[in-house]
Structure 1
Amino acid sequence: MSDILCEQRGDIALVTLNRPDKLNAVNQALRASLIDTLARLNRDSTVRAILLTGAGARAFCAGQDLEEAAHVDSARIPEWLDAQRAMYQAVRDLDKPCIAALNGVAAGAGFQIALCADWRVAAIDARIGQPEVKAGLASIVGSYLMTLHVGMTHNVQLSLSGDLIDARRAYEIGLVTELAEAASVLDAALERARQLARLPAHAIRLSKQRLRALTQAGFDAACAAGIEAQTQCYAHGEPQAAMRAFLNGKASTDSRA
């Protein structure tokens, strides 16, 4: 089964993160496939807009796959986070409108993928946030991306608490562009994609290139700072302990099921 599904509906490409049993969590295979898929769609002249969503009804993307993250050692942090950076950059590099349909939880790396998109349409019951600190990781890239959308008060709240907020609150503070009922979130996102796809493509491309240029230096600096910070976190052992506790708790729950 492919970790990324891609379906073209007219001039809209629907890209689905496809690990529903893992809440579409990011692992190496999904990351690499998403990067390749987005690069291909960016070159395809028949595609005028790209819509990202998650498989199943529970999650857009619950973040980094903790089973993968738990086995990363300090020496591999730069390589691992460079791969994460490439995934976010693949979304940022799109010259066509990119809409994220948040059909469920969007947390951590999944939240950050959505923040790199141009438009976020969220189901009212979606839960959204930056829970890295709860996994023993510093909130670095996510906190930078939030500065592009919200002020310091909300950024600090989300980055330091690690709490998820509901989509309505995310909309009120500027993290979400539109709200929709859960049953119609994909339809609402497709309609927005069609509207954006009808706009002059050359003007969209140049506008997006300028917006990217305005934020690229900050994004690059955040990614570099993230490597340094997470290396320190792993050296102290906090992520490993937090992830082991989560995975052991999950295994105990699964064994009782």
Structure 2
Amino acid sequence: MQLQYIKYETSGPVAVLTLNRPECLNAWHTAMRQEILEAIAASAADESVRALIMTGAGDRAFSAGQDLNEAHDFDADRAESWIGEWETYYDALRSFPKPLVMALNGTAAGSAFQVALLGDIRVAHPDVKMGQPEINSGIASVTGPWIMREMLGLSRTVELTLTGRMMEAAECERIGLVHYLVPRDQVMAKSLELARELAAKPPIAMRLDKARLREVTEADFRETIQAAIRIHRECYGSGEPAAMMEKFFQERAQRRG
């Protein structure tokens, strides 16, 4: 694999995929997601790999989610094709037949929060923050609320979606979104420990368990994608996301100036 935006390496039966754009908090764009898909496919096909860890480079963020520089100029048609890209990405994570551990080295926001929740086990440190802040950028949330509702129920999902607030790690652990909360310098060690433990499980039973867990949410996932196409066409067609992103860019420039 020719990799520019991620790193991929193996340690015994465990592969480690590192999001590698620390200069922009590991925010992803289409090219980066394509590299992630290639790495996921390689892990699935490699019989020597029995578990996968996903983490981020640096110490600030797992990922800030969508790169707003890419999304700034989306119109209704591009928003629809963009949702198709997310369907492919999320389907790859949901279909991955081996254990997937999320080593959360920092903030996981927006689509990165969703990706983290699509992992099997999440390890974080006390300074990690997670949440669904899209509304603050004028972007409607569709896939995020679906994933949150599956894990948290409707009441908490409504509150998190409409406020767009970021949760502290302690809250994430308390409500079950983080499974292991460890000191910052132990996140990867704990993730490797868990990945190796899971890698030692019987692989056929692991694959079948994961396939069944995917099946029970498959119909809702596909319906959510269709809803996302409809809603994001209207959202991006309105111009509101572009206006909010432009305001964000201007405020950031003023802070840096």
TM-score above 0.5: yes
- For 1:108, the equivalent position in structure 2 comes to 110
**Contact 1:63 1:108 (8 Å CA) reproduced:** yes
> Hey, what does 1:78 align to over in structure 2?
80
Report the alpha carbon displacement of residue 251 of structure 1 after superposing the two structures with TM: 2.3
Partner of 2:55: 53
**Contact 2:80–2:232, Cα closer than 8 Å, also in 1:** no
Which position in structure 2 is the counterpart of 1:3?
A: 5
Give the SS at the match of 1:148.
Answer: helix
Shift of 1:252: 2.6
For normalisation by structure 2, the TM-score amounts to: 0.97
Shift of 1:113: 0.8
Q: Is residue 18 from structure 1 mapped to residue 20 from structure 2 by the alignment? A: yes
User: Does the CA contact (< 8 Å) of 1:26 and 1:109 recur in 2?
Assistant: no
CA distance in 2, matches of 1:153, 1:180: 28
Alignment of 1:196-215 (within 5 A): 196-215=198-217
Pair 1:223-2:225 in alignment: yes
SS of the residue corresponding to residue 52 of structure 2 reads strand
TM normalised by structure 1 equals: 0.97
SS at 2:146's partner residue? Answer: helix
Verify: 1:193 aligned to 2:195, yes or no.
Answer: yes
- Aligned pairs for 1:1-257 (under 5 A) are 2-254=4-256, 256=257
Question: What is the DSSP-based 3-state SS (H/G/I as helix, E as strand, rest coil) of the residue aligned with 2:54?
Answer: strand
Which amino acid is the alignment partner of residue 233 of structure 2? T
CA distance in 2, matches of 1:123, 1:84: 27
Q: Percent identity?
A: 42
Q: CA deviation at 1:20?
A: 0.4
Q: Which ranges of structure 2 fall in alignment gaps of 5 or more residues? A: none
Is the 1:121–1:176 Cα contact (8 Å) retained in structure 2? Answer: yes
1:122-158 superposed Cα distances (whole Å, 9 cap, x missing partner):
1111000001111111111000011221122211111
The whole-number CA distance in structure 2 between the counterparts of 1:202 and 1:75 is 41
Equivalences, count: 255
RMSD over aligned Cα atoms: 1.0
Could you tell me how far apart the structure 1 residues matched to 2:122 and 2:32 are? 21
Deviation at residue 253 of structure 1 after TM alignment: 2.6
